[in-house]
């Protein structure tokens, strides 16, 4: 894929973004506020997922391993 096709594809994606969200009818300053709020919300979701999802997955695994007959941590420590 050459540079021109990539640039046209990215322009097409941006145009689709404008059409789907309906911000093509907004004024430039309204677009910038909308985009800032949207991308800030997306950044917060990504950061929260990065920080908190692994903790919850580990806790869920510990919970379900205890229910389905996993050995408690104290037993595992004595075996080593």
Domain ranges of the chain: 3-68
Residue 10 DSSP code? H
d(CA 25, CA 61): 48
pLDDT bracket for residue 74 (50, 70, 90): low
pLDDT on residue 77: 53
Yes or no: say if 18 and 24 are a contact pair by the CB < 8 Å rule.
yes
pLDDT tens figures, 22-56: 999 999 999 999 999 999 999 999 999 999 998 98
d(CA 34, CA 38): 6
73: closest CA among 49, 28, 14, 61?
Answer: 61
Q: What is the pTM (predicted TM-score) of this model?
A: 0.62
């Amino acid at each position: 894929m050459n540079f021109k096709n990539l640039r046209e594809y990215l322009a097409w994606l941006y145009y689709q973004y404008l059409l789907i969200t309906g911000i093509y009818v907004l004024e430039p300053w309204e677009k910038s506020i909308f985009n800032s709020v949207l991308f800030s919300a997306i950044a917060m979701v990504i950061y929260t997922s990065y920080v908190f999802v692994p903790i919850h997955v580990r806790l869920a695994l510990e919970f379900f391993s205890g229910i389905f007959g996993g050995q408690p941590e104290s037993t595992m420590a004595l075996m080593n």
